[in-house]
Chains A and B, each alone.
Chain A
Amino acid sequence: MAKYSLSINGKKFSIEAEPDTPLLWVIRDYVGLKGTKFGCGMALCGACTVHLDGEPIRSCSTPVSTLKAANRITTIEGISANTDHAIQKAWIEAQVPQCGYCQSGQIMSAVALLKSNPNPNDEDIDAAMSGNICRCGTYPRIRKAIHRAADLIKESGNTTGK
């Protein structure tokens, strides 16, 4: 067991865990944020995607010992206060989720995409989102919603998407 101090969604957490414990289980079972999902445990499906200093990572394959207190970790719960990030609004408008299980990961990947590329075309979307499996097949709506979110951000002039 070792002690770790983590910054998740702007809050400090200090937890005690085995060094090889994946960040996914730390977030879910130690910190108690259940929005981040377990899908494969092998960085193959993207269900566990969170942001590390703004970059999408697979938390299932990130041992807690590799993180530093200065790292900013963001989960789906930290994306917006009232489900009103442009991506989330577009997701609701396009009625993207079906079962919903993959969607936290999809949204985290999409938010990161728009941050690095505010104007993605379909190929950009496919490239950025290919690590996220949706077994329910919401892909056509994901594409549509990302385009819509890009427009919403442009209209609002607020590049953070919030």
Chain B
Amino acid sequence: MQKTLNIDRRNFLKYSGLTGTALILGFSSSEAIPNREVLNLSRIAESFELTPFVIIEKSGQITIMNSKPEMGQGTFQSIPSLIAEELEVPLNKVIIKQTSGEKQFGAQTAGGSSSVRGSYANLRKTGASAREMLIKAASQQWSVPVEECYAEDVKVFHKPSGRSFSYGELVETASRLEVPKNPALKDPKDFKILGKPVQRPDIPLKVSGEAVFGMDAEVQGMVYASVERCPVFGGKIRKIDDSLTLKVKGVKQVVKAQRTLGKNTYEVVAVIAENYWAALKGRKALKVEWDYQGFDQFNTLDYEKNLRELAKTEGLVDHNAGDFEGTFAQAPLKLEAFYETPILSHSPMEPMNCLAQWKEGDQVEIWVSSQGPDSVKRSVAEAFGIPQENVKVNIFFNGGGFGRRLYQDFATEATSIAKAVGVGKPVKVIWTREDDTQQGPFRPMTFSALKAGLSSDGKAIAFQHKVIAPSIGATMNKSYDRTKSDGTMTEGISEQQYEIPNVKNLFVLSETHIPMAAWRAVTSTTLAFSHECFLDEMAVKAGKNSFDFRMELLNKESDTKRVLTKLREVSGWDKPLPKGWGRGIAQWEFFAGLAGQVVEVSKRKDGSIKIEKVYAVIDLGTVVNPDNTKAQVEGAITMAIGAATKDGITFEKGMVQQSNFHDNRMVRISEMPKVEVHILAEGGTKIKGVGEPGLPPLAPALANAIFNATGVRIRRLPFDLDKIV
């Protein structure tokens, strides 16, 4: 995936030097049944029927397509592994190529911890079909029974005689065979790649500096752009004074353009220059007068007040079981609490950037780091009213995504600028860190009003979680249903396994013009905090140990119960802690998966809190790469510590107050506790995700640990570990 990463159908064939026959297997995304075509070069170039996930050439070269962009989560290894395992080829003998949004590859967006889950069955089947065809081809060439042949390490062997054919030698024959409809999948006990801590093929490139990110993409004749966007969302250009800008050496021109982000379109002014530094200097000299359209009235303090007011309204029902009101009214023990969380930026280490070229005949080419090549195509095509086929996308390694690169505004904006600059001129737009921090879209804040009723023996009998929040959907999509509870904004609150007989969960929408976006683990990052801290408050009210209280609500067998049981064991929950220490527990199940954590903290002499250790258990059902899974959980925990204890995004006069890493701080290595990750890979009910589930339990487990150590109950994020007591 170095210089060769970006491929379109034609280049791709040229690149792989495909001549004559090759065995090409894939499936059509609609049917998910392996199909095959034996084609010569020109046919393939024409064909849009085929989804060539694996290509075996006569030369023996094997190419496997990775349809899910690599952003650090490991799809560059995990997705090809699904095919390679069944095909009996080690990953180091395979060329891995990133797809570029071609229709036939279907959904190519990496998000929602869904990449492996969504591909698992189909890709294994594809690999298994190819293996069976190669084995059958060998048996025919030798005229021996199929049962006497087996595949291993890119060869088919004849067991009795020990003879072998390389895959390349079998391509011709294999390509004439029927594709098996139901190929036999390997028994997991025979796996050589899946479930093993296999080294990731992208890592050596990331250690040598050779890995190519969108930021590094270059084409002949390109110019650079730095873009002035209104500091107040929704503001319009009143006047541009570029007289000083145009005097800056290297600046070529200043153009007006548009950034399309979901349903929103923002006016922008781009400074075009020979080099990036000149573009930046030109932008500093630029004077744009904005008409804020009244949006400069917006500020966080008022918006928070508004959320607290809205909490008094009934809201929309998210989930209703039993009789919450009646039971709560009669409950011998009652408690209520209000939790608050902030807006956050995604801040991947690679700031947004995009290289775009508007060509003759309304053709567009884009070079970009994005979580979804298909969504880049769609977004650009929609923004400019051109067919998707006109948009060619080249995807590179993402220098972090975390949900930010699910939104293709950087591509629509760069395309608009390239169009304004003129046909044929490639323009590279690089966002500053300040742009990245201030221009959104953001993780929404959520406020939560919680109520619980307990029986006299301290069992939860009534529970309510009311979420008051802006909505990703409402700020992004033209069609948004305001008559129903918003499942994304109430994510997980009605999915927990706790057996509480009377539950009524509610949602209250708070409108805003600030664009909101999915952020790694989405709304679970805030709702797990309020939900699982409140569970702890209930345990305290009931006079019970946080762990026992939860287990009393988990009588039926469930994945949650297994996770908590494992967590108790690995964290040494029942062992006493040193003086001044505390521990807290939390778990969270949501669309992406399930994990639980125990956090241990200590109180320093000066009263500040140190996070000593995090024990994590993630439930997967099946594991593709245990080492990478651990890395993902370690990373999720780091990000969650930042989200809980660093800075939120706040607004004043309509403008974001934070700008760079000094006031929008990230976790540093010195703040990183020891982390121990355990994987539950067996006995689960379904395949679960890896990238996100490690995030939600951290904030509540940490806050619960701080309560345990200090008696201080934290109900608002972020909190400062130095100023708890």
Contacts and interface: CB of A to CB of B under 8 A. Distances in A.
Interface in B658-672: 660-662, 666-670, 672
Residue of A35, A42, A103, A140 ringed by the most chain B CB atoms within 10 A: A140
A76 B204 CA distance: 13
A138 B206 contact: no
Given A22-B277, A95-B200, A137 B635 contact: yes
Given A95-B200, A98-B635, A42 B660 contact: yes
Nearest to B348: A135
Interface in B79-99: none
Given A38-B215, A41-B432, A135-B349, A95 B627 contact: yes
Chain A interface SS verdict (over half) = loop
A139 B350 CA distance: 18
A133 B638 CA distance: 11
Given A44-B660, A95-B199, A95-B628, A101 B669 contact: no
Contact of A133 (B249, B432, B666): B666
A121 interface: no
A100 B672 contact: no
B339 to A, nearest CB: 25
B211 to A, nearest CB: 5
Contacts of B216: 28, 34
A99 B638 contact: no
Interface string A18-50: 101110010011100111111111101101000
Given A76-B209, A136-B400, A142 B349 contact: no
A140 B672 CA distance: 7
A59 interface: no
B351 interface: yes
A78 to B, nearest CB: 9
A71 interface: no
B399 A104 contact: no
B349 A92 contact: no
B442 interface: no
A104 B212 CA distance: 12
A39 B430 CA distance: 11
Contacts of B636: 137
Interface in A45-98: 45, 47, 75-77, 83, 88, 91-92, 95-98
Contact of B674 (A38, A83, A140, A142): A140
B722 to A, nearest CB: 16
A98 B399 contact: no
B231 interface: no
A150 B275 CA distance: 40
Interface in A82-133: 83, 88, 91-92, 95-104, 107, 125-127, 129-130, 132-133
A43 to B, nearest CB: 10
Contacts of A18: 249-250, 277-278, 281
A130 B672 CA distance: 10
Contact of B199 (A21, A34, A92, A103): A92
14 contacts: A37-B215, A40-B661, A45-B666, A77-B209, A91-B203, A95-B203, A100-B213, A101-B350, A130-B669, A132-B669, A133-B666, A135-B400, A139-B672, A140-B634
A100 B72 contact: yes
Given A92-B207, A137-B634, A137-B667, A101 B348 contact: yes
A137 B432 contact: no
Contacts of B667: 137, 139
Contact of B669 (A1, A77, A104, A126): A126
Given A39-B349, A126-B669, A103 B207 contact: yes
B249 A100 contact: no
A21 B277 contact: yes
A147 interface: no
A5 B402 CA distance: 40
Nearest to B639: A137
Interface in A1-23: 1, 17-18, 20-22
A132 to B, nearest CB: 7
A133 B668 contact: yes
Interface of A: 1, 17-18, 20-22, 25, 28-30, 33-42, 44-45, 47, 75-77, 83, 88, 91-92, 95-104, 107, 125-127, 129-130, 132-143
Contact of A88 (B208, B249, B635, B674): B208
B30 to A, nearest CB: 32
Interface string B305-347: 0000000000000000000000000000000000000000001
Contacts of B670: 126-127, 129-130
A143 B670 CA distance: 10
A143 B259 CA distance: 41
Interface string B66-77: 000011111000
Contacts of A41: 432-433, 660
Contact of A83 (B202, B204, B662): B204
B397 interface: yes
Contacts of B350: 37, 39, 99, 101
A21 B627 CA distance: 42
A136 to B, nearest CB: 5
Residue of A25, A83, A136 ringed by the most chain B CB atoms within 10 A: A136
Nearest to A22: B277
Interface string B212-227: 1101100000000000
A118 to B, nearest CB: 19
A107 B635 contact: no
A99 to B, nearest CB: 3
Given A92-B207, A100-B206, A101-B350, A140 B675 contact: yes
A76 to B, nearest CB: 4
B464 interface: no
Contacts of A136: 72, 349, 400, 635, 638-639
A25 B399 contact: no
A95 B668 CA distance: 19
B433 A40 contact: yes
Contacts of B400: 99, 101, 135-136
Contacts of B638: 134, 136-137, 139
A39 B351 contact: yes
A145 to B, nearest CB: 10
A53 to B, nearest CB: 20
Contacts of A101: 213, 348-350, 399-400
A25 B277 contact: yes
Nearest to B637: A137
B553 interface: no
Interface in B275-291: 275-278, 281
B383 interface: no
B662 A44 contact: yes
